[in-house]
Structure 1
Amino acid sequence: MPLIETRALNKRFGGLHVTNNVDLALEAGEVHCLIGPNGAGKSTLFRLILGEHSPSSGAILFAGEDITALKPFQRIRRGMSVKFQVPGIFKALSVRQNLEIAMQHHYPPASLAEEIDKLLAFLNLSADAKRLAGNLSHGQKQWLEIGMAISLKPRLLLLDEPTAGMSPEETFATGEMVQRLNAEGMTVLAVEHDMAFVRQVAHKVTVLHLGRVFAQGSIDEIVANEEVAAIYLGQTTAHETAHEAAGDVHA
């Protein structure tokens, strides 16, 4: 049984068909990356899974349960957690205080400080525990929000462009974090543009194009797919420039 599954999922905004009969399934313990040109429907599908958007038709199942009508907080209680592209941290509080807020209802008071220390070490933020979160570098802010998301110990972690704006070194470090989480049993679905990150972490890759599942397979299968390359190089999507697409494919 897949941990998360979408069945013939559709989303229309007025006359615009943004998500078009999407069938997607993630097995427990899988790292799955969702890629595609701008306007492919990645973010909409992500928000449908999280419950921020309601589908026009179709179904979403989590561990076999139909969650299509559930609100986001109800899905989170069942074992989902999310890190959005723009960090939603508390900038006026310290790094430790941010994690304390996220973790305080999920750990006994006697072990909370120790668990925060463990998470700080995992995030490479131990030396920055007392710094105001707003003073962190962009990459560190992303790591802090990843920490807040995984502090819930979710069964499914949703990552929306987790490496956006990061240096190559920060991107690689983020990939190592995802690999360690996955080794501990966490299932991950990531919307991502950076193909170096995708190659580093993904067990399976799904390519969206014009709201549809265009291709699916291993990263090697996707990179070797000439039709996928054509999409990214603008041969089938006139609004994509070759420069932007090359940056997505070869980053």
Structure 2
Amino acid sequence: MTTLLEAKGLEKRFGGLKAVDGLSLAIEAGELHCLIGPNGAGKSTFFKLILGRYPPTAGTVHFKGEDITRLVAAQRINRGMSVKMQVPGVFPELPVWQNLTIALQSHFSGAALRREVDRLLAFVDLAPDARKLAGNLSHGQKQWLEIAMAVGVTPTLLLLDEPTAGMSPEETWKTGELILDLNRQGMTVLVVEHDMAFVRQIARQVSVLHFGKLFAQGDIDTITNDEAVQEIYLGKGHHAH
């Protein structure tokens, strides 16, 4: 296994508050890794540090062996990172196919672009809705369209921030299957999530954040059976099912 992404001693302060506090985390190539933790644990801040949306107060980020700590988000994306944030960023007034075309046009052109758009529409089950305005899709479909837009650039590392927020149980399950499929195709995936049923469906490795620090790490069973994790994450005496 080769380490694809490595955060070392990452810290982010906002005024006197440390949102991320000396966090070190390594993601192996080909891994499907979930980052969980209670609200305010620093998950979203950590994500933004990895993406280059925030500069760190201290610490470094390495990607594919290169120190990318000072690179801006666009430079990181050019090196093979892609992200889907929690709020869908689709163009609601444009048709579904055109949203995908815009996302992919810097990577493909001509017939190859059309083929890739068709392939991704089929992959996320939106081919029947290709001509529908993106604004008229259901919440779950908008999220799938955005996953398609994020993976269309064939990233080495896909970052997903709460991809199932606001979804029905059926949509959540289907999203999990899409992510598992991408991982089987060789994509490394890092997911920030709080829905434990979803984490159980997809996760190979789980890292738990608490007060901006790495609190626990292991496979899903180790994590859900850890009493200290249950205490901070699920409230006393409440077991994860």
Identity %: 62
User: Are 2:134 and 1:128 aligned?
Assistant: no
SS of residue in 2 equivalent to 1:207:
strand
SS of residue in 2 equivalent to 1:91:
coil
Corresponding residue of 2:218: 217
Corresponding residue of 2:197: 196
Q: Aligned ranges for residues 162-173 of structure 1 at < 5 Å?
A: 162-173=163-174
Corresponding residue of 1:45: 46
SS of residue in 2 equivalent to 1:87:
coil
Letter in 1 for 2:160: L
Corresponding residue of 2:3: 2
Corresponding residue of 1:95: 96
Q: Aligned ranges for residues 25-40 of structure 1 at < 5 Å?
A: 25-40=26-41
Tell me how far apart the structure 2 counterparts of residues 29 and 232 of structure 1 sit (CA, whole Å).
Answer: 27
Residue range with higher mean Cα deviation, 99-108 or 43-52? 99-108
Q: Aligned ranges for residues 135-214 of structure 1 at < 5 Å?
A: 135-214=136-215
SS of residue in 2 equivalent to 1:20:
strand
User: Are 2:50 and 1:24 aligned?
Assistant: no
Deviations 1:174-218, CA, capped at 9 Å, x for gaps: 111111111111000000011111111111000000110000000
Letter in 1 for 2:20: T
Tell me how far apart the structure 2 counterparts of residues 23 and 218 of structure 1 sit (CA, whole Å).
Answer: 18
SS of residue in 2 equivalent to 1:21:
strand
Kindly report the root-mean-square deviation, in angstroms, between the aligned alpha carbons of the 2 structures. Answer: 1.3
Alignment check: 8 A CA contact 2:82 2:150 kept: yes
Corresponding residue of 1:230: 231
Letter in 1 for 2:110: P
SS of residue in 2 equivalent to 1:23:
strand
Alignment check: 8 A CA contact 2:116 2:152 kept: no
Tell me how far apart the structure 1 counterparts of residues 40 and 78 of structure 2 sit (CA, whole Å).
Answer: 30
Offset of residue 69 of structure 1: 0.3
Offset of residue 108 of structure 1: 3.0
Offset of residue 45 of structure 1: 0.3
Offset of residue 233 of structure 1: 3.5
Offset of residue 111 of structure 1: 2.0
Please, which runs of 5 or more residues in structure 2 have no aligned partner? Answer: none
- Normalising by structure 2, report the TM-score: 0.97
Deviations 1:59-108, CA, capped at 9 Å, x for gaps: 00001100000000000000000000000000000000000111122113
Corresponding residue of 1:81: 82
Alignment check: 8 A CA contact 2:3 2:26 kept: yes
SS of residue in 1 equivalent to 2:3:
coil
SS of residue in 2 equivalent to 1:54:
coil
Offset of residue 234 of structure 1: 3.9
Deviations 1:207-248, CA, capped at 9 Å, x for gaps: 00011000000000000000000002445xxxxxx9xx88xx
Tell me how far apart the structure 1 counterparts of residues 234 and 204 of structure 2 sit (CA, whole Å).
Answer: 24
Corresponding residue of 1:110: 111
Please, which runs of 5 or more residues in structure 1 have no aligned partner? Answer: 236-241
Tell me how far apart the structure 2 counterparts of residues 62 and 205 of structure 1 sit (CA, whole Å).
Answer: 20
